[in-house]
Amino acid sequence: MTTDRHYVTTLDSQFGELMLVATDLGLRALAWPGESAGRLALPEEMTACPDHPVLVTARLQLQEYLDGRRTEFDIPLDLRGTEFQKAAWLALNSIPYGETTTYGRQAARIGRPNAVRAIGAANGRNPISIILPCHRVIGVGGALTGYGGGIDTKRQLLAFELEVSQSK
């Protein structure tokens, strides 16, 4: 299996067209409309391949999430970043659906309680938002802080998850 070949497809959503990128190892990125591929550290050349198994699984599970039928993801990931970034990104999976946490609690969760700013920076580089739910991380006073899809999208995702979780 190769890890340097990147496959791409899109998914229409209530937030616009999302771009999904995978390698043979797993999902590599989820990009918001207008989001820079450079921020996600993606190569310039990618092969359109909507039938790639990772992309098929990602599209299906994301659609289920967007329809309010899925609260957790089971998609292989191909994370690329520093060990700290990967730890920060994977810690996002422990935030329950429909709930939020702070950057400080996320830092403590990975054993680095003084790395609050570094957690914020790592979340800002999260290549697979929604699936690794950095939208669930908020400021200490409840303030919504930066998000790749924009603050309005973060607000909408949080409201959507709260509504779905309360209806179950």
Q: Classify each residue of 56-81 as buried b or exposed e, where b means 16 or more C-beta atoms within 10 Å of its C-beta.
A: ebbbebbeebbeeebeebebebbbee
Q: Both tokens of residue 96?
A: 């329950």
DSSP conformation class of 142: S
- Indicate which residue of 19, 92, 122, 134 is catalytic: 134
Cβ atoms of residues 20 and 11 within 8 Å: yes
Q: Both tokens of residue 137?
A: 């991380």
Q: Is 134 a catalytic residue?
A: yes
CA–CA separation, 64 vs 73, rounded Å?
Answer: 10
Active site residues: 134
